[in-house]
Amino acid sequence: MASTRSSAPLKRTRTPKAVRLGLLYVGLWAAFIWCVFPFYWMIATSLRAKDEIFARPPSILPHSITFQNYVDLLIGAEFWRFAMNSLILTISVTAISVLLAVTAGYAMARHKFKGSVMLPLFMLYGQMFPPVLLLIPFYIQLRFLGWLDSLYGLIPVYLSYMLPLCVWLMRGFFAQVPHSLEDAARLDGCTRWQAFWRVILPMARPGIVAVATWVMIHTWNEFLYASTFILSDKNRTLPLGLSGLIGQYTTDWGMLMAGGVITAAPILLVFFFLQKHLVSGVGGGAVKG
């Protein structure tokens, strides 16, 4: 009895530990492959020659690699126009939302005034509205103003989607900057504005970067509003242009996947460099508030 008691815990902890670690890695690899495979498949398809793309059965590894799909895509003026439209839209929406969110978020985090408790909640509600409910009034309004099928008409539409969450997130970041810093600056003779501009703003820079990146990514990717309000080819954004490559009967999947890679590339680059800020900013912001 005594001998089993002393040897049993040793056995129970030693062997299963290796087994458990092995199982852990099996699970990790399974999850990794499940998550990454579609992305791999897009890249692999974009690098295949046309006849290989439609070969049956499909092979996991490409037999030969060609950049023909990318050349075909980038040679057309269409692609560049779509990319330019997306870029103009992304820069405008990001600049406006960040500017407004910084001032509003700061005031909400720092000052007590009528509505300083209600407003942030109201902003969060704004983020949860079903886009389909906004789609219809926006369509009626844009049509009335003659802004349907206009790139600039999309700016207010996108602000409805971006601004509330930006304000909410910025307020969260400003709330984390210690009060004492601002008080010290004020004692040093700074005006309110100077204290904000020279002391608080630099401290909140990581938050500003996270919010700006969030807006950039979402504007760059937006599909629903653009596909409803943009009617002519010349005003299409990149995601719209991409979906336009789907044909009714035949689709050039090689070119489409190349377009997918190019559309995703800037996002992946941004994500790669700002991973830490983004993950804590968006993931944390969603539960911390």
Partner 1 sequence: MTTRTRETTRLKPHWSSIFENGTGARLYPYLMVMPAILIAIGVVVYPVLSGITSAFHDVTLRTLNSGDMPFIGLRNFERVFADPNFVLASLNTLVWVVLNVVAQLGFGLALALLLHRIVPGIGFFRSGILVPWVVPSVVAVLTWRWMYDPSVGIVNEILVRLGVIDAYHPWLGDTATALYAVTVESIWKGTPFVMLLLLAALQLVPKSILEAASMDGASGWRKLWHVILPQIRVSFAIAAVLTFILTVNNFNAIWLMTEGGPLNSSEILFTLAYKYGFQRFDLGMASAVATMLFVGLVIATTLYLKLIQAKEAD
Q: Footprint of partner 1 on residues 163-192 (CB under 8 A)?
A: 163-164, 167, 188-192
What length does the chain have?
Answer: 289
Which one, 81 or 271, has the nearer CB to partner 1? 271
- In three-state form (DSSP H/G/I as H, E/B as E, the rest C), the secondary structure along 182-243 is HHHHHHCCCCHHHHHHHHHHHHCHHHHHHHHHHHHHHHHHCCHHHHHHCCCHHHCCHHHHHH
> Which window, 67-75, 77-85, 97-105, 146-154, contacts partner 1 (CB under 8 A)?
97-105
Is residue 8 near partner 1 by the rule CB under 8 A? Answer: no
Q: What share of the chain is helix, strand, coil (3-state, %, to 5)?
A: 80, 0, 20
137 interacts with partner 1 by CB under 8 A: yes
Q: Which of 22, 58, 76, 202 binds partner 1 (CB under 8 A)?
A: 58
Residue 255 burial (CB count, 10 A): 23
Q: Measured between alpha carbons, how far is 102 from 116 in angstroms, rounded to an integer?
A: 15
Contacts with partner 1 by CB under 8 A: the residue count is 98
Q: Does residue 209 belong to the site contacting partner 1 (CB under 8 A)?
A: no
Comparing CB distances to partner 1, the nearer of 77 and 113 is 113
10 binds partner 1 (CB under 8 A): no
Q: Which of 153, 207, 239, 281 binds partner 1 (CB under 8 A)?
A: 239
91 three-state secondary structure: helix
CA gap 121, 249 in Å, rounded: 48
Question: Is the distance from CB of 106 to CB of 200 less than 8 angstroms?
Answer: yes
Any contact of residue 129 with partner 1 (CB under 8 A)? yes
- Please report whether residue 70 would count as binding partner 1 according to CB under 8 A: no
**Which C-beta is closer to partner 1: that of 20 or that of 205?**
20
> ∠ CA 47-51-56 to the nearest 5 degrees?
100
36 binds partner 1 (CB under 8 A): yes
Q: Taking CB under 8 A as the rule, does residue 57 contact partner 1?
A: yes
- Selected binder of partner 1 within 49, 141, 206, 252 (CB under 8 A): 141
* 138 makes contact with partner 1 (CB under 8 A): yes
If one counts every other C-beta atom within 10 angstroms of the C-beta of residue 100, the result is 16
